[in-house]
Structures are given as C-alpha cells and as structure tokens.
Amino acid sequence: MSSESPSSSPLIAVRAFVGGGEMGKLVSAKDWSQTPLGPIENWSPSLLTAVNLVLNSNFPIALVWGAQHTQIYNDGYWPICGGKHPVSMGQNFSECWASAFPVIGDVFRSALAGTTAFLEDQRMFLDRLGYLEETFFTFSFSPIRDEHGHVAGLFHPVTETTSKMIGQRRTRALRDLTAAGLGAASIDVALLRAALTLNDAALDVPFALFYRLDDDQRVARLVAQTGINSGATASPTVANLEQNNSAWPLTRILAHGATFYLDNVQTLFPGLVCGPYPELITAACARAITGAGQGKPIGIMVFGRSTRLPMNPAYPDFFELLGATVNNVVTSALAAETERRRLDALAEIDRAKTVFFANISHEFRTPLTLMLAPLEDELANAVHMPTPTRERLETAHRNALRLLKLVNTLLDFSRIEAGRVHANFQASDLAVLTIELADMFRSAVERVGLSFDVDCPKIAEPIYVDHEMWEKIVLNLLANALKYTFSGGIRVALNARDNDVELTVTDTGVGIPVNELPLLFERFHRVKDARARTHEGTGIGLALVQELARLHGGVASAVSIEGQGSTFTVRIPRGHDHLAAEQIQAIPAMRANAAAAFIDETDQWVDTAMLTTVTAIATTETRPRIVWADDNADMRNYVARLLSTDYAVTAVANGEDAVVSALAQPPDLVLTDIMMPGLDGIGVLRALRADARTKLTPVILLSARAGDEETSSGLAEGADDYIVKPFAARELLARVRSHLAMAKLRREAAMIQIHAAQVEQNEAESRKLLAAETASRRALLRILEGQQRAEAALRVSQETLQLTLDAAQIGYWDLDLITHAATRSLRHDLILGYTE
C-alpha cells in the first residue's frame, strides 16, 4: 500500500464523521496519531472518503486500511464486536479477529491481493464475549484502490446469520429425532434412537443421557447416552434416587415438573469435558421422560449445553421442544409396546393352543387305536354274527374312524404350525392322481342327483406333490362341494399353466357371502347359517388346504357368488426348484388310506336308503309310538335300535319328515335333534305345538352342547325335556320312559274325567227317563180307563146290534162273525199298547 498525501481540509473530514452515528463520534474523537493511520489531519482523501462511506451506511461495514490492517467500523458493525469494542476500533483486523482467521484468512489475503471474495453463512468462532462463540456470517472483502491503482484497504460489509443458521440446525435435529423415533417397538429402542440422532446434534447438545425409572421410581438405569461413555462419573449406569448416589439431582429434577436448568455442572462434575469442543462443560438441563397416559414419569433425560453458544432465549426454547419431542417419541413407542405385548400374548395363546391340540390329538389317537383294532378284529368275523350285532359294530367302527380323521386333521394342523411337518414330494402324474381321488366321490355325488365332471388332461411333465397332502387337498375341496351343493353339479379340473398347475373345484352350490370370503381360510372359521347337507364340520378343512398348498410353494384361493356357487383354486409351482432337496423323494411313499374316512363320512350325509330301514311300523303295533329325527345316519340308527326294543320307532332324517309323520299319525312322543339342515328341532317343536293333534305330544330335544341358546329357547317354547350329547343309552331310555309314563298318566287322568262326566250325563238322562216313564204310566192309565169305557160301549153296541139283527133276521151268522173279529182285534191292540 502506498502512503497518502495529507488532506488539505481536515475539518471537512471531522464534520463528515459527525453524521456517522456513534462510531462517527468515536472516530472523530479518537487520537489516531497513536495508530498506524496517523492523525486524521494527515489522512488521504481516499481514506476519508472510504471512512465517510462506511460511517454513513446503515449496513454493518468495517473498513480495513493501511499496512497494519487498521479497522474502522460503523454503528451496524459495532454489535458484532461485542466485548471487543471499543478496543477493536482502530485495532489490527487480523489481530482482532484472529479466532476467525482459520476460516476467513484465505479470502482476506486474496482480497488484499486484489480479488473480491464473498462468503455466505460462514461458520466461525468469534471471541467477542469472553469466550469462543459459534457464529455464522455472510460477508465480502472488496479491495479499495487509491489514486495510483494500488489496494489501499478493504471494504468489508458483513451480516450475521448465526440465529438463522442455528435455528435451522435445531429444527433439523428435532425433525430427525421424530423420524427416528417413528416405529420404535419399545421405549428403550425409542431412547436409543433418540441418543443416536442427537449424536449428530452435538453442536447444540454436547451430551445426552436417558435414564429409565423402575416401577417404584427408586432406581434409574441408563438405557442410552451420547457424548459421554456410559458408566462415567456424570453417566452412572444405575442411580439410586433414595441413596442419592448420583451427583445429578435426580429427585429434584423429578419433583420440579418442568425443565430443570443446571449452571453448576463443573461443581457437580469437575473437569467434565465432552462433545465437539475442548472447553469445560458448565451447563445442562434435565426433565422427566413421560409418556401420554402414564400416571408417573418413566425416566429422566439430561442434555448438555454447548460451551460455545450463548444462553439466549432461543436455547431454552430449543430444550423445551427437544424434551417434548423425546416424550412424543416415547409415547408412540409406548403404544407400540402395548400393542406388541398384546400381540405377543395372542401369539402365546395361539402357540399354547397349537401345543394343546398336538397333545390332545396324540392323547386321543391312542385310545382310538385301541378301540379300532378290536372292532376291526370283530368285524373280520362279522359273517357269523346276527345282523343287529354286526350293524352296531359297524356304526362304532365308522364313528371311531371319523373321530380319528378329525384328530388327524388337528394333528396335521398343529404339526404344520409348529413347522414339524415332513413332506415327501414325489414326481407324480398329477392328472392320474387327481382323477383317482375324484372318482372316489363319483358315486356319492351322483347318488344325490348332482352332475360330476372331471376334466384332468395329462400334464406332459411330472409334478412334485406329497401324495398324502394332495389327497387331503382334493378330498377336502370335494367334500365341501358335495356338502354345500343341492342342485346342478360339481366340476374338478386340472390345468397346466406357464409356471404352475391349477386345480379347480367348482360347484353350483349355496355360495359364500362376499364378506365371508376373506375369512374362509382361517382356522375354525365357518359361515354361520350356511345351508348344508349336514351341520357337522369344524371349519378346519380349508385352513388345512391352504397350509398344504403353502407347503407345496403354492396358494389356495376362492371365488364365489352367494346363491350361485363357488370355485376353489389351488395353484402349485411346476418343477422342483422351489422345494428343499431333502424333501424330494425318489421312491414313491406308501399311500395312507385317508380317503376311506372321507368317503365313509360323506356317504353318511347322502345315504337316504338307511332312513327307511326302521321307519315301517306295522299297523297292528300296540307299543307306544315314537317319531325320532336326526340327520346323522349313524346316530339315527343307533337311537332307533335302542328305542325299538320297547317302542315302535319312526326314524326320519330331517325336521320336515318328522312333522309330516307326527301329524299324519300322532305319536306318543317325539325325539328330535336340534341341529339339522332345513327345519331344525326347534322348528319341529313349533310346528307340533301349533297343531291340535300334537299340541300335547311330549317332545324331547337332543342338543349338541350343554347350555346352548337353542336348548333354552326350546324349553321356552314348550319342549318337555332336552338331552345333551353325548348321552348314555340308559339315560335316554329312562327319560323317554318317564315322559311316556307322564303322558300316559295325563291321558288316564283325562279319561277319568271324561268317565265322570259321562256318569253325570247318564244320571241326568236316567232322571229324564224316569220322569218320562211316570208320564207314560199316567198316560196308560188314562188309556185303560178309556178302554174300559170303550169296552162297555162296545158291549152296549153289540147288544144293540144283536137286537137289531134279531129284529131284522137278515144274514145272521155273517154279521156275528164280523163283529166277533172286530172285538178281538180291538182288544188285542189295547193289550199290546199297555205292555209295551
């Protein structure tokens, strides 16, 4: 820089500075002779002009002039200097702002070399309030050239952006904290994530500690921290609030209820240094961690305060928001934790249920096997048995098999759920396998008048299936189709597609309400009040089909229109890449005969031939007559056989038949199952009670469950009794007997009444007769008197006649004969009239 020639008029300069605000006065008053710029009087015109320009500007500007970088600034710049003012006026710029030089040094020097520099929101540390302070500035350094074109000084407008920049940074931290906390599965996870996020906010929060309190608020455990390692003096892992073994005043913090500010951190923890700066931490704040809806605090959070930021109002505002954000995150984690605990509990129940099913199924299998074996032995010799004995054994055998099938299904299910199922996938001709399975159903389907269409064209390559599982899939779907279809038909089709094979079982049955479709494959789900061939069912069949399809890497699905029919589809992938190598069998596995149980069972719903076996009642029958209704053929035959020893039984398969039979020939008693397709037991009861012929006929209901709603409504509607299944034969017979006896007593009582009434009536009639007799006697007497009078008259007239004849002497004997006859006949009539 070149030296300046003295001003010819220093007074002008001084006057000019007068208009330069407070700094103008200061510059004017200052003795510049002691500075590198020398006395004002000697200042060059360009310096004076520049100083004038700076002092009269409202924008914060500093001027750097001369070889010693002497700084002159205006009123706007003055606050930037903070505690450095007024020493900073006229001070060497690089000395004054030495702490910022690591950041601004380069641009400062390049401006002196003639290149203008502009920096925006530059972060720097200024030592203007007695400590290094984190600040942000937008500024430029522009060279000022003298008359010779040399750089004589720098023009340095500057604006402080500290609060804007720190505000943005804190907003970001709070936003990140919220985002990180979202979806935390537990409070501890939420606090860990909060600590991790605050690791990036160390400039504002040099350290953070998160303690959780135990239930009785006596012990606080450190669950997450940042800025300080856990277990240090300032971050004990466990703090006992009662013993006060932590220097943090935890009890007071909890009692305070709001954010608790501590300015004595160095007293509590001498020498504590942490976070990004080497200065001793002096201040912190702490508050309770609370979750919405929690009656008491669940923890305590402590945040350190930056050593390089002033405690201006923005800082506590930030701490308040920070605490609130942590509490929000904790609240949502708390909700997630509660939800998870609920789900865990449900899962636990489900697991327990699976284990229970597995155990109970096992337990059932042993006695069932022990029942089946002797039954089968006996049946092997059945040819020598009397028919009723054989039939009884067959019923027991069939039902033991059915029970075994149910138990096996449950066991299959629990095995799948426990992941303990071992599939044997074999390369199979799926078309042939499926046709074989479908054909087993043909006779049952056709017997009920449905069409049966099996369309399974040969598939070029083998398909990998577990035979037993495939069998269960096909048979379950077919059994359902038969159960829920009353007209039309059933179609089974197999269709090879690009990547999979598709089995469809379509029926024209009752269909499924649209709201039930999503639940169809859930375990134990059944559509309420669906019309079916039987009420039997557990709601487990489709769930099993789905699980089995899944085990094949496939899916099961259903489409249906209520009232029109349903299509169930199972798709399984072609090839075997999707299957575990150890589950692929080279040798075909033994086929278990699960199909037999299915066919036996479905036969029961469609076998109407059996109904008639016990229905014919001889017309000469004198035993009491019972109408007995149940849709289950075995149950029907069993009970019919029980009763038929003493009674004439009409066994029917449904409610309608029961009513028709009872009205046509009123029985002595009606026994009916409650659950039957079509008209159920309650319906039968109502129909009988509504008809005079059966109004008083005893009706006993058979119920599947004790305490059933239907049972109580049955009794309310006038059923005489109900019996819960299973029942002992003796009990059933005893109840039937007692109701028949009661009915007989009622009938006899009624007879006695009728008899008494008849006697009464007879007496009245006798009385009437007696009165009539007396009257007729009197009438006879009157008649007799009349007769005597008549005889006397007759005699008189005979004598008169004789006299007349004698006198006339004409045809004597003829007249005499006539008269004699007339007299006799008259007498005779009179005698008869008397005696009768």
Within positions 454 to 513, which residues make up the interface with ligand ADP, using CB under 6 A? 480-481, 484, 507, 509-512
Q: Which of 3, 233, 294, 538 binds ligand ADP (CB under 6 A)?
A: 538
Q: How far is the CB of 178 from ligand ADP (least distance, A)?
A: 46
Distance CA 572, CA 581 (A): 17
Q: Which tokens in the block code for residue 748?
A: 């006899």
Q: How far is the CB of 353 from ligand ADP (least distance, A)?
A: 17
The smaller minimum CB distance to ligand ADP, of residues 27 and 542, is found at: 542
Q: Taking each helix axis as running N to C, give the angle between helix 45-55 and helix 10-18, from 0 to 180 degrees, rounded to the nearest 10.
A: 10
The smaller minimum CB distance to ligand ADP, of residues 307 and 566, is found at: 566
Neighbouring C-beta atoms of residue 45, cutoff 10 Å: 17
Site string for ligand ADP, 670-689 (x = CB under 6 A): --------------------
540 is an interface residue for ligand ADP by CB under 6 A: yes
Torsion angle of C-alpha atoms 194, 199, 201, 206, degrees rounded to 10: 110
Q: How far is the CB of 334 from ligand ADP (least distance, A)?
A: 39
Q: Which tokens in the block code for residue 780?
A: 């006879």
- Residue 740: what are its φ and ψ, rounded to 5°? -65, -40
Q: Which of 69, 156, 467, 526 binds ligand ADP (CB under 6 A)?
A: 526
Distance CA 821, CA 739 (A): 76
Q: How far is the CB of 505 from ligand ADP (least distance, A)?
A: 7
C-beta separation of 505 from 477 below 8 A? yes
Q: How far is the CB of 567 from ligand ADP (least distance, A)?
A: 9
The smaller minimum CB distance to ligand ADP, of residues 147 and 350, is found at: 350
**Residue span binding ligand ADP (CB under 6 A) among the ranges 456-464, 536-544, 575-583, 624-632:** 536-544
Q: How far is the CB of 490 from ligand ADP (least distance, A)?
A: 9
Q: Which of 530, 606, 639, 648 binds ligand ADP (CB under 6 A)?
A: 530
Query: Which helix (H) or strand (E) covers residue 765, if one does?
Result: helix 729-808
Sheet with 151-160, strands from edge to edge, namely 70-73, 61-65, 151-160, 132-145, 117-127
Within positions 31 to 90, which residues make up the interface with ligand ADP, using CB under 6 A? none
Q: How far is the CB of 677 from ligand ADP (least distance, A)?
A: 12
Q: How far is the CB of 419 from ligand ADP (least distance, A)?
A: 22
Q: How far is the CB of 653 from ligand ADP (least distance, A)?
A: 19
The smaller minimum CB distance to ligand ADP, of residues 566 and 697, is found at: 566
Q: How far is the CB of 236 from ligand ADP (least distance, A)?
A: 59
Q: Which of 48, 81, 286, 542 binds ligand ADP (CB under 6 A)?
A: 542
Q: Which tokens in the block code for residue 775?
A: 């009257």
The smaller minimum CB distance to ligand ADP, of residues 195 and 478, is found at: 478
Strand, coil or helix: 539: coil
Distance CA 505, CA 476 (A): 10
The smaller minimum CB distance to ligand ADP, of residues 173 and 475, is found at: 475
The most distant pair of C-alpha atoms in the chain lies apart, rounded to whole Å, by 221
The smaller minimum CB distance to ligand ADP, of residues 352 and 519, is found at: 519
Q: Which of 527, 685, 687, 701 binds ligand ADP (CB under 6 A)?
A: 527
Strand, coil or helix: 556: strand
The smaller minimum CB distance to ligand ADP, of residues 193 and 483, is found at: 483
The smaller minimum CB distance to ligand ADP, of residues 559 and 830, is found at: 559
Distance CA 720, CA 614 (A): 25
Nearest Cα neighbor of 638 from 732, 536, 533 is 732
H helices, E strands: number in the chain: 22, 24
**Residue span binding ligand ADP (CB under 6 A) among the ranges 288-296, 524-532, 582-590, 626-634:** 524-532
Strand, coil or helix: 552: coil
Distance CA 218, CA 214 (A): 6
Q: Which tokens in the block code for residue 647?
A: 């009674």
Query: Which helix (H) or strand (E) covers residue 65, if one does?
Result: strand 61-65
Residue with tokens 């056989």: 641
- Residue 435: what are its φ and ψ, rounded to 5°? -60, -45
Residue with tokens 């020498």: 271
The smaller minimum CB distance to ligand ADP, of residues 204 and 507, is found at: 507
Q: Which tokens in the block code for residue 88?
A: 């900073």
Q: How far is the CB of 642 from ligand ADP (least distance, A)?
A: 28
The smaller minimum CB distance to ligand ADP, of residues 195 and 543, is found at: 543
Q: How far is the CB of 455 from ligand ADP (least distance, A)?
A: 18
Q: Which of 114, 183, 537, 786 binds ligand ADP (CB under 6 A)?
A: 537
Q: How far apart are the first and last CA of the chain?
A: 179
The smaller minimum CB distance to ligand ADP, of residues 177 and 512, is found at: 512
**Residue span binding ligand ADP (CB under 6 A) among the ranges 22-30, 46-54, 491-499, 519-527:** 519-527
Residues 470-481: b if buried by 16+ CB within 10 A, e if exposed: bbbbbbbbbbbb
Distance CA 410, CA 539 (A): 11
**Residue span binding ligand ADP (CB under 6 A) among the ranges 203-211, 263-271, 539-547, 707-715:** 539-547
- The Cβ-side half-sphere exposure at 749, using a 13 Å CA radius, reads 6
Q: How far is the CB of 680 from ligand ADP (least distance, A)?
A: 17
Within positions 226 to 255, which residues make up the interface with ligand ADP, using CB under 6 A? none
C-beta separation of 649 from 638 below 8 A? no
The smaller minimum CB distance to ligand ADP, of residues 485 and 711, is found at: 485
The smaller minimum CB distance to ligand ADP, of residues 540 and 635, is found at: 540
C-beta separation of 544 from 412 below 8 A? yes
Q: How far is the CB of 717 from ligand ADP (least distance, A)?
A: 27
Size, binding site for ligand ADP by CB under 6 A: 20
Within positions 550 to 579, which residues make up the interface with ligand ADP, using CB under 6 A? 566
The DSSP letter of residue 92 is: B
Q: Cβ contacts of residue 642 below 8 Å, gap of 6+?
A: 729, 732, 733
Query: In the 3-class helix/strand/coil scheme, how is 336-405 assigned residue by residue?
Result: HHHHHHHHHHHHHHHHHHHHHHHHHHHHHHHHHHHHHHHHHHHHHCHHHCCHHHHHHHHHHHHHHHHHHH
**Residue span binding ligand ADP (CB under 6 A) among the ranges 522-530, 728-736, 741-749, 790-798:** 522-530
Q: Which tokens in the block code for residue 182?
A: 């979202």
Q: How far is the CB of 357 from ligand ADP (least distance, A)?
A: 15
Q: Which of 205, 406, 473, 520 binds ligand ADP (CB under 6 A)?
A: 520
- Distances in whole angstroms, Cα of residue 389 to Cα of each of 398, 399, 542, 603: 14, 16, 37, 21
The smaller minimum CB distance to ligand ADP, of residues 241 and 540, is found at: 540
**Residue span binding ligand ADP (CB under 6 A) among the ranges 230-238, 255-263, 532-540, 700-708:** 532-540
Q: How far is the CB of 531 from ligand ADP (least distance, A)?
A: 9
The smaller minimum CB distance to ligand ADP, of residues 189 and 675, is found at: 675
C-beta separation of 227 from 206 below 8 A? yes
The smaller minimum CB distance to ligand ADP, of residues 75 and 601, is found at: 601
Q: How far is the CB of 432 from ligand ADP (least distance, A)?
A: 24
Q: Which residues bind ligand ADP (CB under 6 A)?
A: 480-481, 484, 507, 509-512, 520, 526-527, 530, 537-543, 566
